[in-house]
Structure 1
Amino acid sequence: MNFKLKSVRKPADTEFGSLEARTAPVSEEKIAERLTAAPDGPPSKISELVRRRIVIGKSKVSIAPPVENGLETVFNADERTRIVSTDQYPWKLICALEIDAMTGTYVGTGWVVGPRTLITAGHCVFDSKQMGGWAREIRVTPGRDRERRPFGSFVARRFSTLNLWTEKQDADYDIAAIHLDADLFPATEAFRVGALPDEELQDYLINVSGYPASPGGGTELYWAKNRIRAVTTRRIFYDVDTSGGQSGGPAYVFPDENAHPVVVGIHAYGEGGTPGSIAMRVNSAPRVLPEVVEQIEAWRDEDLESS
């Protein structure tokens, strides 16, 4: 059923989003105070949380958090390919994210949907449990390959996500936008998004690309493709190898060999995030549905109007 989603914008003047907060250190006491408001209460050891710097799907350091956190999964032999021609289409549209939150610095992935708009996972911009709320700022580097930044880097401080993500951390709505203050690429080069019916989706191999924490430390682009194993009302499940840091990356198909890639999901979860009703070892993405297309277009158009 098609319905209208509600966009939630990061407040411009939050304690941890203001200019003063970005330049001042944040004490562990402040972090504990903020995390107390999370649904499950504060962690028992705030200093341990700060040291580990773990957030769902992202880690600046190579740490293996518990599977139940829903982190992305490599199945058996790792079949990912490292992409080095990151200045070429469509790889240049995929961006490495360095996420500054009050509990630490994390890595993630975003992709270009408009000249000034990136799409990513909701938990890359807002996570009440492990980031303590909104990201303070995100450094965006399109087409990064280690220390090579062919298109430079951009710092973003404006983010949007969905109400069902901020209110309930509902995995089916783990979707967000990063709003930039300068153009990245022309609209004609941006990723397309598509709401495809179940039977059509299941005919495709799905591609997933992103910047994992391991290997590469969030600075190397990896890609893999494989079968779509299951489709539910709001999720797509697939046998594609990923690991932490690839959250927010595009899950896309090619309608034919000469077509632009069409994003059909926003990669966000591994087997730890698979519902019990899906009896498979699979990774997954919140699905692009008509109302998601409408919201993405609204974010993109809003950024174009403000340029």
Structure 2
Amino acid sequence: MPNTPQVVSLHTPMTNIVATESTVNALRETIGSAGVGEEQEIDETEGTELVPRIIREMGMVQIDFKAPDTTGLADIGVASFQPVPLREAIIGTDERIQVKDNRKYPWRASASLLITAADNSQWVGSAWFISPRTLITAGHCVYIKHSDIPGRDGWVKKIQVMPGRNGNELPFGGITASEFWTVQGWGDKGLENYDYGAIILPAAFPQELGTFGYGVYPDDELNKLMVNVAGYPSDKSSGTIWYDKRNVGTVKADKVYYAADTYGGQSGTVVYRIKDRKRIAVAIHAYGGLTANSGTRITDQVYNNLESWKRD
């Protein structure tokens, strides 16, 4: 009797290291934590952030407190998608607001990334914590596709993770990671609907930074939902975090579309709702367009992978 070929899901995880066993939680919504310290105020009516419009060593892990100069570095998306220009975009008038108090949650639960590719070229991106040692980001932040540059494609070499960065200030320091995850739909196929991944830190930061939750929601709940987007764009001062909010415009099986303004460098940042004063991700920001930006939707398969990638 012939063997039946095994069907491999495009959401099947892949990593640059030998995998360890992990448990998948069956819950469909995971709530994040604010950690210790002050929390950013919320507009509970709109479900948005109230951002004022103002224009050592630990074991074997080195924590860097000097911010690297990332001025002029391009968004990591350029490595995979050049010369296509519209990967993240300002929709109409730029209405982003600079976040100043990055020590507060949820800003400290997001991180600026300095990414070193296999060919030693350097790029910028964004990511967000779901556990003390795990950050979620775009797949193209950890695995480069179609660059046409010899030695550049594939897993990046290392990523310096800097939570709550504010220009030259690293209030919590920075840790360099070299363990990464994505899925076969991105790593093998380069499909935009599967563009998500994870960064695993070698150790947790000494401070309790907090985490974002994440959930799987039906189309009718996502449609017109107010979402919040903040990250580290490359068109602003190096290492500064900028925020915008908009209602979801369109929902597809694997993507969520919104008109919140973004720019290169915000690849991988969290797209989240505020529910009962909790920040819960609904998508991973990855792309731009003429009329909307978009993120990889958190579906059941994405949710299960996020659960399996969590490390304490």
Equivalent position to 1:77, from 77, 87, 93 = 93
Which residue number corresponds to residue 286 of structure 1?
Answer: 296
* 2:109 maps to 1:93: yes
- The number of residues matched between the two structures is 244
Identity percentage over the alignment? 34
Distance 1:188 1:146, change over 3 A: closer
Q: Distance in 1 between matches of 2:184 and 2:106?
A: 30
Which residue number corresponds to residue 12 of structure 2?
Answer: 6
Matches within 5 A, 1:1-307: 5-11=11-17, 57=77, 66=83, 68-101=84-117, 102=119, 104-130=121-147, 131-184=152-205, 189-217=210-238, 219-256=239-276, 259-271=277-289, 281-300=291-310, 303-304=311-312
Q: Which amino acid aligns with 2:94?
A: D
Q: Secondary structure of the residue that 1:168 maps to in structure 2?
A: coil
Q: Which amino acid aligns with 1:202?
A: N
Q: Which amino acid aligns with 2:184?
A: N
Q: Please list every run of 5 or more consecutive structure 1 residues that lacks an aligned counterpart in the other structure.
A: 13-51, 60-64, 272-279
Cα deviations by residue, 1:115-161 (Å, 9 ceiling, x for unpaired): 10000000001012224211100000000000111110000011010
Q: Which amino acid aligns with 1:76?
A: G
Q: Secondary structure of the residue that 1:254 maps to in structure 2?
A: strand
Distance 1:297 1:260, change over 3 A: same
Q: Distance in 2 between matches of 1:174 and 1:196?
A: 19
Structure number with the higher helix fraction is 1
Distance 1:92 1:185, change over 3 A: farther
Cα deviations by residue, 1:265-307 (Å, 9 ceiling, x for unpaired): 0000001xxxxxxxx711000100111111100000xx33xxx
Cα deviations by residue, 1:221-273 (Å, 9 ceiling, x for unpaired): 011001211000000000110000000000001124xx2100000000001xx
Cα contact 2:76–2:124 (8 A) shared by 1: no
TM-superposed deviation, 1:203: 3.9
Q: Distance in 2 between matches of 1:264 and 1:185?
A: 28
Distance 1:265 1:186, change over 3 A: farther
Q: Distance in 1 between matches of 2:240 and 2:144?
A: 24
Distance 1:156 1:270, change over 3 A: same
More displaced stretch, 243-252 vs 75-84: 75-84
Q: Distance in 2 between matches of 1:54 and 1:215?
A: 12
TM-superposed deviation, 1:57: 3.1
Q: Secondary structure of the residue that 1:92 maps to in structure 2?
A: helix
TM-superposed deviation, 1:186: 8.1
Of structures 1 and 2, the one scoring higher in RCO (CA 8 A, sep 6+) is: 2
Q: Distance in 2 between matches of 1:54 and 1:140?
A: 17
Q: Which amino acid aligns with 1:7?
A: P
TM-score where L is the length of structure 2 = 0.73
Q: Please list every run of 5 or more consecutive structure 2 residues that lacks an aligned counterpart in the other structure.
A: 1-8, 19-71
